[in-house]
Structure 1
């Protein structure tokens, strides 16, 4: 297939996938599992009885009785006129609320990007100066910290304990500092990690050696190396900006910032589906605008000589990581979990409310007198168990799609650009918050990396010499598939899925923190952290316990990923020797 035809098919697949997402947003009132008419009736008149006649009248007024095709056509025609509908709760036009929230979020994202660039520059500077640096591990740790966890810690330290910045609101530059830091530090860690991984390889390329031999200054070589890795990094930077929209939901909720993310979350909780539709559509358009801008910037950076050929990042140096650190972190989590599982997480002791750590309660008690250690242990079992199911489902889907990568290319691009929080908001609006909805939301957006890995392995195995020999001696397709292709693909992809388990658990915890996952009184780590915010000044240990557990989980995600990359590099180096 020629390059133009391949590009046309890829563009068509992305367009169809985007149209499917927009249609799903437009049909949200139709397939919602809860009756929107009851929500609207209670919002308009709390004293009116929800009789069948009253609910039917509300459905007629909202146009819910017209069927899905008419509902979608009416919504799309309103979009063409610039009309996003009317709020079911307040009765006001949706467009001004979406515009106001988007304006606030854009300001917050701009400040967060400034922080991110400053963090990335600090991480990259040692690599540019020395040619080598140890900032990759630090950058990976910063990138792995969830925004909701960093926002909670920043609130406790910067606003409650030190009192340097306001704890909530949006009234001036001082209110911008803590939210921007909470959003910008993980994004800067990710950008710094990508650049720190690519720059040493770029500085070892042939052109850099020739420049050094010719006496070119170190500063000029460093600038050229940075210019060398920038074009391939621009699309990654676009994904970071899109990821800020997901992180902004949690950060805006923690600091009570009236942005588009908090607006979407509030609309999902109150079943104000027109406002939710407008907010999600604004987030999608923001993602598309960022992607287009990044493509234009990359086009300009490449110049006319490389636009057709493109440019890829130089291969990073293989990491060196052993299994000791991930095993130690896993042992800590298993130890705390096992200790907590021996206790009852639901026993109430009102006489011991907010008790500090003691022999009876090693991690103290919460606002209802429940043992924090017990809830932490049972929450780990629930969170990690659900994450394991999500990883298993993503693994099965990835193995299926690995044999048909073109069929899933467009959907994969959309799923990659859709943060789990946004998917969680949509699922919660349709079917209500809960553990199952949170698992479904994370599963919908977590399969593309595994599918890409499976597709690459399938292509490699199909082109191998021993497979051609098997076909030459008369082996059938089923024999080749079950005895050679699947065993060669399933093992590495399964290990990849296992390494993604801590990150999946963090995504589930973020949804629980926002009230989109497990519901009280269930012991879930994100929910525990959210519940403890109300009394964090009086009983900080109740918040520090789940915060520390989530931090250990983030460190486990980083160390496991580093060990997995190191193991893959070692196996690839040894593979040719085994073949010979």
Structure 2
């Protein structure tokens, strides 16, 4: 039965969704005026590719589109036309917008379902060994962490290019481009689903050991229950905390797959939004953004329903304790592997810093690795080792700053989940590409503009995770006991809530550090991030991606560097800070259990 407080929470969440969606649509409507360029000039160039239009032509376009009226009348006309099924006409093509967006949305939704199936399959493969061993009480450590990190570190656009070249062109198994028939969906679905599934599976694999070390699992093992039954309950136990991470993943599969859609020439919603934003074609851009917002809200409501179905009555009667990571022993081989990765990565960076990253030698274009050029040269004859080394500090520094800022903002907003639930759902629907276009319109293409764009959308996974963990912790028995004994908010925050949330959020942030590098790389790939000739790992991947088939070594260096960084990220989940935080919570929980 719904309580008055639950009804108020739902109304606040609905108001938050409406407010955030309105602000987002208003920001999109201001895009042509924020860019600092004449919208009429951009539209005219998109129509006819005329680089030097006359003042009369520009005046005619302004009069035709009503650009002198400002953004508010356009937004009002577009909103009032939506109830009648009229989203306006394209400023560039003159065709109705709604059929274009509907067709693109159908394509992206089909691709999303295929990629989601791959995501679930890969996530299951990542954590199946932990499920098997944990249900038999033979769990020793998180065995799939390194493999999951390596898969999650694969750049989606680079994986798409490799799949298109190998499976599409060389082997001819599937179409390398276009959207005709179910076979055309296989390669892009793999390119999108494999890294996403590795990320979700890695989070599950991090949480499952805690579930298998809870009292109910030990009792089930002692009573002789079948291992499969214990594994199912442990998976259900951990899915509730990981499920909110599916929301940004699902939306990213629709609106954030612009680079993959470009490589496979797929007429999807993300590509339509990017083309419309580039041409400042406002009606299709606003309609595509609205479609993404509605999709995100629907996905958020579905995720909430699934979480409540998984948790059952424990969410109401306070019987659900928060998962905490037990003191699992680490393997020597994992530490040795992490040390080797650190040494190799440091050696590459130091060796690259001793070389000139900007020296151009046109006679040495696309040379394979040799003693003179250990990683080869790029299309301009520049040494790739030098560019990799000089780009390491910039790449790692920007990604670390973005990850820290996103995690801190997500933690703060997640702790105020009643007020920010709608904002989290709506902002998670905003693709990083569209956020990059909005920030680039103000700041211009730069690495810090791309970093700001990632921060605008990167806090949502941490906020969703924080809200989910806090919801479980507030329903825990020891928290309710402390509240009944008169504990204040500050005491609950310091002794219960923060120690239960911080370790998981920190682990999530460390694991997402390579993903932040990849998002920045995707923005650079689309021309919204770091600009040439500055060396940066994402830029190296983007500018050398056209030469994957001819000279694969041009992307091998930065791709391997990302893999090494991912392995180090997995090893970083065992840092002294995390161990101390986990230990402090465990000791507090044991004292509470002993006192009760």
The bucket for the TM-score relative to the shorter chain is 0.7 to 0.9
Instruction: Determine the structure 1 residue equivalent to 2:520.
Output: 508
The C-alpha deviation readout for 1:344-371, integer Å capped at 9, x for no partner, is: 3333222211111223322211122222
- Alpha-carbon distance between aligned partners in 1 of 2:239 and 2:407, rounded to the nearest angstrom: 33
- Alpha-carbon distance between aligned partners in 2 of 1:109 and 1:521, rounded to the nearest angstrom: 35
More displaced 10-residue stretch of structure 1: 346-355 or 333-342: 333-342
- Alpha-carbon distance between aligned partners in 1 of 2:236 and 2:585, rounded to the nearest angstrom: 30
**C-alpha spacing 1:86/1:165, structure 2 compared with 1 (3 Å):** same
Instruction: Determine the structure 1 residue equivalent to 2:582.
Output: 569
- Picking from 540, 548, 561, the partner of 1:549 is 561
- Picking from 485, 490, 498, the partner of 1:463 is 490
Q: CA deviation at 1:37?
A: 0.8
**C-alpha spacing 1:301/1:561, structure 2 compared with 1 (3 Å):** closer
Q: CA deviation at 1:391?
A: 5.2
**C-alpha spacing 1:137/1:33, structure 2 compared with 1 (3 Å):** same
More displaced 10-residue stretch of structure 1: 111-120 or 445-454: 445-454
- Alpha-carbon distance between aligned partners in 2 of 1:170 and 1:302, rounded to the nearest angstrom: 40
Instruction: Determine the structure 2 residue equivalent to 1:33.
Output: 36
- Alpha-carbon distance between aligned partners in 2 of 1:48 and 1:254, rounded to the nearest angstrom: 27
Instruction: Determine the structure 1 residue equivalent to 2:497.
Output: none
TM-score by length of 2: 0.79
Matches within 5 A, 1:378-527: 378-390=390-402, 410-428=422-440, 432-447=444-459, 463-464=490-491, 502-527=514-539
The C-alpha deviation readout for 1:13-48, integer Å capped at 9, x for no partner, is: 343222211222233333333321101122334458
**C-alpha spacing 1:421/1:566, structure 2 compared with 1 (3 Å):** farther
Instruction: Determine the structure 2 residue equivalent to 1:534.
Output: 546
Q: CA deviation at 1:441?
A: 0.3
Matches within 5 A, 1:272-351: 272-302=281-311, 305-306=313-314, 308=316, 314-317=323-326, 329-351=341-363
**C-alpha spacing 1:163/1:230, structure 2 compared with 1 (3 Å):** same
**C-alpha spacing 1:531/1:233, structure 2 compared with 1 (3 Å):** closer
Instruction: Determine the structure 2 residue equivalent to 1:472.
Output: none
- Alpha-carbon distance between aligned partners in 1 of 2:147 and 2:444, rounded to the nearest angstrom: 38
Instruction: Determine the structure 2 residue equivalent to 1:143.
Output: 152
- Residues 1:129 and 2:132 are matched in the alignment: yes
- Residues 1:241 and 2:250 are matched in the alignment: yes
- Picking from 13, 20, 23, the partner of 1:20 is 23
Instruction: Determine the structure 2 residue equivalent to 1:267.
Output: 276
**C-alpha spacing 1:331/1:167, structure 2 compared with 1 (3 Å):** same
Q: Is the 8 A contact 2:395 2:536 kept in 1?
A: yes
**C-alpha spacing 1:214/1:245, structure 2 compared with 1 (3 Å):** same
- Alpha-carbon distance between aligned partners in 2 of 1:200 and 1:296, rounded to the nearest angstrom: 25
Q: Is the 8 A contact 2:366 2:551 kept in 1?
A: yes
- Alpha-carbon distance between aligned partners in 2 of 1:142 and 1:68, rounded to the nearest angstrom: 44
Q: CA deviation at 1:453?
A: 7.5
- Alpha-carbon distance between aligned partners in 2 of 1:516 and 1:350, rounded to the nearest angstrom: 27
2:67 aligned counterpart, secondary structure: coil
- Alpha-carbon distance between aligned partners in 2 of 1:239 and 1:312, rounded to the nearest angstrom: 26
Matches within 5 A, 1:39-58: 39-47=42-50, 49-58=52-61
Q: Is the 8 A contact 2:248 2:461 kept in 1?
A: no
The C-alpha deviation readout for 1:255-283, integer Å capped at 9, x for no partner, is: 22222122222333333333332222222
- Residues 1:187 and 2:196 are matched in the alignment: yes
Instruction: Determine the structure 2 residue equivalent to 1:475.
Output: none
1:34 aligned counterpart, secondary structure: coil
- Alpha-carbon distance between aligned partners in 1 of 2:290 and 2:225, rounded to the nearest angstrom: 50
- Alpha-carbon distance between aligned partners in 1 of 2:181 and 2:548, rounded to the nearest angstrom: 25
Could you list the runs of 5+ residues in structure 1 that have no partner in the other structure?
468-488
Matches within 5 A, 1:339-378: 339-378=351-390
- Alpha-carbon distance between aligned partners in 1 of 2:376 and 2:218, rounded to the nearest angstrom: 60
Q: CA deviation at 1:332?
A: 3.7
The C-alpha deviation readout for 1:175-228, integer Å capped at 9, x for no partner, is: 322211111112222332343344444445444455555554333343344444
- Alpha-carbon distance between aligned partners in 1 of 2:490 and 2:243, rounded to the nearest angstrom: 32
- Alpha-carbon distance between aligned partners in 2 of 1:368 and 1:44, rounded to the nearest angstrom: 33
Q: Is the 8 A contact 2:361 2:381 kept in 1?
A: yes
Q: CA deviation at 1:419?
A: 4.2
**C-alpha spacing 1:547/1:209, structure 2 compared with 1 (3 Å):** closer
- Residues 1:73 and 2:67 are matched in the alignment: no
Q: Is the 8 A contact 2:510 2:573 kept in 1?
A: no
Q: Is the 8 A contact 2:300 2:425 kept in 1?
A: no
More displaced 10-residue stretch of structure 1: 62-71 or 136-145: 136-145
- Alpha-carbon distance between aligned partners in 2 of 1:240 and 1:48, rounded to the nearest angstrom: 40
Q: CA deviation at 1:117?
A: 2.0
Calculate the aligned-residue CA RMSD, in Å: 4.2
More displaced 10-residue stretch of structure 1: 166-175 or 35-44: 166-175
- Alpha-carbon distance between aligned partners in 1 of 2:214 and 2:565, rounded to the nearest angstrom: 37
**C-alpha spacing 1:239/1:390, structure 2 compared with 1 (3 Å):** closer
Q: Is the 8 A contact 1:354 1:366 kept in 2?
A: yes
The C-alpha deviation readout for 1:281-334, integer Å capped at 9, x for no partner, is: 22222222222222333444555x456458676434356669876665455434
Could you list the runs of 5+ residues in structure 2 that have no partner in the other structure?
471-478, 480-486, 495-500, 591-596
Q: CA deviation at 1:139?
A: 3.1
**C-alpha spacing 1:12/1:573, structure 2 compared with 1 (3 Å):** same
Q: Is the 8 A contact 1:29 1:64 kept in 2?
A: no
- Alpha-carbon distance between aligned partners in 1 of 2:409 and 2:322, rounded to the nearest angstrom: 29
Instruction: Determine the structure 1 residue equivalent to 2:594.
Output: none
- Alpha-carbon distance between aligned partners in 2 of 1:522 and 1:378, rounded to the nearest angstrom: 9
